[in-house]
A = this chain, B = another copy of it.
Amino acid sequence: MKQQDSSPLTSPHKRSTAEEMQQLISRLYPICRSITGNGVRESLRILQEYIPLQIQEVASGTAVFDWRVPPEWNIRDAYIKDHKGNRIVDFRKHNLHILSYSIPIKGSFRLEELIPHLYTLPEQPDLIPYRTSYYQENWGFCLPHRLLESMRDDRYEVCIDSSLKDGFLSYGELLLAGTSEEEVLISTHICHPSLCNDNLSGLAVCTFLAHYLSLRPHRYSYRFLFVPGTIGAITWLAINEDQLSRIRHGLVASLLGDEGDFTYKRSRRRQAEIDRVVPFVLSELEKAHKVIDFVPYGYDERQYCSPGLNLPVGCLTRSTYGTFAAYHTSADNLDFVKATQLEESLQVYQAVVDTLDQNRYYLNLNPKCEPQLGRRGLYALIGGQNDSKQFELAILWVLNLSDGQHSLLDIAEQSQMNFSLLVAAAKALVKGELLTEIQDVD
């Protein structure tokens, strides 16, 4: 495709993937995103330079389950001026200064009238908080608490040059078709303004994961969603309800650039394959991590795992929702997200999709006693030695447990052998006509 020829991924001056993810984040950081509006569209268009994303537009007012797609919000400018005419709070300096979805307003307010519209963090007095009011008409500014404390004027001039009217909700979607129609869903939220870990890190890792998958054959079809949080996921689910049964595994991706250990939050099913694959991969890669049970708050797994859908979708982050100091503040900036962390996160996601893709069920075609492996070159010819060879052990494990009840992951867990070695053993046995893949399990 012509577009790809000129994409940042094929530029002549080859950067490392980690640098490219950081560069992408730097480009996206200044844009003011919300759950709708031009900031989302502009961000998605930048992602299209990397991967062949489709941008979907859903009209305001569309009924999606219990919700309706809200009016589209756009903003050009906003400020609070003191009596000298100085912009003491200035949207042009930081997107976080505006309460997201603020209605337009212009006028002079007495300080005490203004205060109910000002949001600060008294315990982190130098930071701007991130606040929204999507579903109740309101207006407001977010600012450092120290600035609020220094406001001494009687009156302030206030301007919010925004618009809130019928339009569209935009989201990005990419399907990388595999040999099977069964899908792996990777979903990330795109609605946050200038917050790097939450969630430009998710956008970057998902973009580069999609690129990685686009370069190799795979069994599953992989569907990437870049959606505004909550309403975007609900909208996609409502529109695609009749196709959800294709989803065999899924992950919500977010918070992937901080220094925290990995955290895997299980799907509501608790024992789905994804709930075993992710901890297995993290352990095999020797990444410090914790596994937590499903709870019905957090990111869009709330929607994917609602009881009427109950999709096998977990959530893989580094730090978790609300547990780091920079969370939902202006401190979640370009310095907060590190290249090594992004790269390590991408590596884990790659290993997860590789493991999902290679995790198959096989059937031992010679299940009564062991086959004579020696004459097939699969077993040592001198007996009596004690240095058990790992590949021979892998062969024996795959043969013994390939009864239609055990996947390679089951065999890996039971044998505590390396997954790739078991994959190689299975391939050798298939080649030796001692094993066959089972196509339809469940």
Contact = CB atoms under 8 A, between A and B. Distances in A.
Interface stretch (A104-112, A251-259, A345-353, A374-382): A374-382
B369 A303 contact: yes
Contacts of A295: 397, 415
Nearest to A101: B383
Interface string A389-427: 000010011011111000000000011000000000000
Interface stretch (A52-60, A124-132, A209-217, A273-281): A124-132
A130 to B, nearest CB: 5
28 contacts: A66-B369, A66-B370, A66-B372, A67-B369, A67-B372, A99-B382, A100-B383, A132-B382, A133-B383, A136-B381, A237-B368, A296-B396, A296-B399, A296-B400, A296-B401, A297-B396, A303-B369, A305-B400, A306-B370, A307-B367, A307-B401, A307-B402, A308-B364, A308-B367, A309-B367, A309-B369, A327-B386, A328-B386
Interface in A34-85: 64-67
B309 A374 contact: no
B367 A306 contact: yes
A414 B388 CA distance: 40
A298 to B, nearest CB: 10
Contact of A369 (B237, B328, B415): B237
Contacts of A382: 99, 119, 131-133, 138
A442 interface: no
A371 interface: yes
A384 B296 contact: no
A370 B66 CA distance: 8
Given A133-B381, A305-B400, 11 more contacts: A66-B370, A100-B384, A136-B381, A241-B368, A295-B415, A302-B370, A302-B396, A306-B399, A307-B364, A307-B399, A307-B403
Assembly stoichiometry (copies): 3
Q: 5 tightest A-B contacts by CB? A: A308-B367, A296-B400, A132-B383, A308-B368, A307-B403
A131 to B, nearest CB: 5
A160 to B, nearest CB: 16
A150 to B, nearest CB: 24
Given A238-B369, A307-B402, A135 B375 contact: yes
A322 interface: yes
Contacts of A401: 296, 307
A28 interface: no
Interface residues of A, number: 65
Contacts of A4: none
Contact of A296 (B371, B385, B397): B397
Contact of A130 (B305, B306, B384): B384
A313 interface: no
Contacts of A299: none
A384 B136 contact: no
A234 B368 CA distance: 9
Contacts of A393: 297
Nearest to A371: B66
Nearest to A400: B296
Contacts of A381: 133, 135-136, 138
A360 to B, nearest CB: 16
A291 B371 CA distance: 28
A97 interface: no
A249 interface: no
A145 interface: no
Contacts of A375: 135
Nearest to A229: B383
A328 B238 contact: no
Contacts of A364: 307-308
Contact of A374 (B64, B130, B135, B268): B135
Contact of A129 (B99, B308, B371, B384): B384
Q: Which of A64, A370, A388 is most buried by chain B, counting CB atoms within 10 A of its CB?
A: A370
Contacts of A386: 322, 327-328
A65 B369 contact: yes
A48 to B, nearest CB: 28
B135 A65 contact: no
A221 to B, nearest CB: 23
